[in-house]
Amino acid sequence: MASLKEVRNRITSVNSTQQITKAMKMVSAAKLRRATDAIVQMRPYAQKLTEMISTVSSKTEAGKENPFTEAREVKNVLIVSITSDRGLCGAFNANIGKATIALIQEKYEAQNQAGNVTILTLGKKGAEYLGRRGYKIDGTHTEIFSKLNFTNVRSIGEEVLNAFASQQYDVVEVVFNEFKNVATQIIRTEQLLPLAEKDSDASTASSVDYIFEPNEAEIINELIPKSVKLSLFKSLLESNASEHGARMTAMDKATDNAGELLKALKLEYNRSRQAAITKEILEIVGGAEALNN
């Protein structure tokens, strides 16, 4: 049985840890509100723009001739894996790493065997997870989520667009966590490039008559890159909200576990203290009895 001093030290340590996890939960809750507001406002705009660009690009000559809609034989693959820069959020980062590996093994195993699968990690944890497993990391962008805005993401989008246009990669996929609620994040894999036609109501799409001003080619060539950058920005917003939700849930569970551990330690402390007091009483009684005899 542990000594009273050791149990007291453990109680103090667990109590401090519980205060930290409780504070982290409150911080994540505050950040989660802002992150969910951002993604809720972004979703309708991003979804509608993507649908419109897909429909228009597939039905116009300018769209079909755009380099970002060109479907080529898949020889070189770029996978954008979005994780966080920090841990303490449960299996949030590990799940993205596993999903990225599963995508490679199920869809691009031949390209991977030839060494033609490259991973661009957005977030420190993804680079660490995939790098330890021997995957080819082209680059890592960290500290994105500390100041997440479209201006900062645009440079990453341009980097990806330029690599695809120069035929450095034939397909670009993104793996991220989609935010559903505080306790649930859904892992999504989406093809970023080439721009694929989205499933939509064919009758509605064909009935829309678009008017292009100043001209069709200029509008299409301007909007397609913007749509790709916006899709990447939306994925980062989803991941940001998911991270705060996952951390909030993990810290809530950690706080509850610390409370259960404190109960067990206090019970052990009281038992040890009672045993020590009983032992002292027995020693006193034994000594008194010896003096009487």
Interatomic CA distance for residues 32 and 40, integer angstroms: 12
Q: What tokens does 187 get?
A: 């892992």
Are the C-beta atoms of 280 and 214 separated by less than 8 Å?
no
Angle at 41 between CA 243 and CA 182, to 5 degrees: 30
Are the C-beta atoms of 73 and 167 separated by less than 8 Å?
no
3-state class of 212 per DSSP?
coil
Give the per-residue SS3 of 15-63: HHHHHHHHHHHHHHHHHHHHHHHHHHHHHHHHHHHHHHHHHHHHHCHHH
Are the C-beta atoms of 161 and 228 separated by less than 8 Å?
yes
Q: What tokens does 28 get?
A: 């994540």
| Active-site option among 53, 89, 103, 117 | 89
Q: What tokens does 151 get?
A: 């201006």
- Identify whether 168 is a catalytic site residue: no
Are the C-beta atoms of 160 and 193 separated by less than 8 Å?
yes
Active site residues: 89
